[in-house]
Amino acid sequence: MIKKSLVLLLIVVVFFSIFKFGIFSYAPVLYVSNMIKTSFIGAKDGILGVIYLHFDQADSIEKLKAENEELKKKAVLLNGFANEVIELGNLIKYKEEYEPFLRPVRAVSYAKLPYFQKVWLDFDDYNSSKIYGLLYNNVTAGIVAGNEGGGILGILNGDPKCSYAVYVGEKKAPGVAMGKNDKEMVVKYIPSWMSVEIGDEVTTSGLDEIFFAGIKVGVVTEVKVVHAYKEATVEPYYNSLNPRYFYVIEKTK
């Protein structure tokens, strides 16, 4: 009985101590509370970090977009300048080979849009009594054969008014190349007994004194008989829709 009383008294003392003095009472609560506070603060800092990072990235993206647009403009200008240099380089190289027969001329604009087969040329000392051949990157591009409205007109390969003497194939079948459209020419008046085949190369004959002999024109894509002659459809080598410079052949001999 005495033992039971002592045990009961001890239990009462322990509980009294817990609630009176806080022994063991606050430690678990504080531990849990601190864990919650720490987790909350960490989550808050993480969220704020993401928010700040988002706005920093958005600001950086806008800056990069602006810089990218500026670089695009500079790239366009540099590309245009590079093309000018390349074309001038090609002209200089070609002129060295055929000096003094060639004169460099610049295309000012198309004569009438959206037609791309006639251009105004910056051509000093133009002689209206003769027809000039036009070269572009070492191939035939057309002729200079008119002074309309005070300007010098370049008539390119695709125009029906453009024509000059040519040879077709290795056997040099003679004919006259004429413009058909912006992608094709046609060589007319080829003697019917001469062999002309698809894939034959067309070159200038020089017999009309518009071009030198041997300048490349294009490749035959179709052959047919028309009356007493053959006609060959030709895909010309010249196909630029944005010409800047040409060479004019001032004389061939």
- Helix, strand, or coil here: 24? coil
pTM of the predicted model, to two decimals?
0.61
Neighbouring C-alpha atoms within 13 Å toward the C-beta of 173: 23
Task: Specify if 174 maps to a domain.
Answer: yes
Encode pLDDT of 91-117 as tens digits.
Answer: 555 555 555 478 899 999 988 888 999
The H or E element containing residue 185 is: strand 185-191
Number of domains in the chain: 1
Task: Specify if 246 maps to a domain.
Answer: yes
The pair of three-digit structure tokens given for residue 85, joined into one six-digit string: 């240099």
Task: Specify if 133 maps to a domain.
Answer: yes
Higher pLDDT pick, 188 / 95: 188
> How many CB atoms lie under 10 A from the CB of residue 204?
24
Encode pLDDT of 169-187 as tens digits.
Answer: 999 999 999 999 989 999 9
Task: Specify if 60 maps to a domain.
Answer: no
- How far is residue 219 from each of residues 13, 35, 80, 124, 169, measured CA to CA in Å? 115, 85, 30, 33, 9
Q: By residue range, what is the domain housing residue 163?
A: 100-253
CATH number (domain holding residue 126):
2.40.10.350
Task: Specify if 186 maps to a domain.
Answer: yes
Strands 185-191 and 229-236: antiparallel
- 145 φ/ψ angles, rounded to the nearest 5 degrees: -145, 35
Tell me what pLDDT residue 126 has.
83
Strands 185-191 and 245-249: unpaired
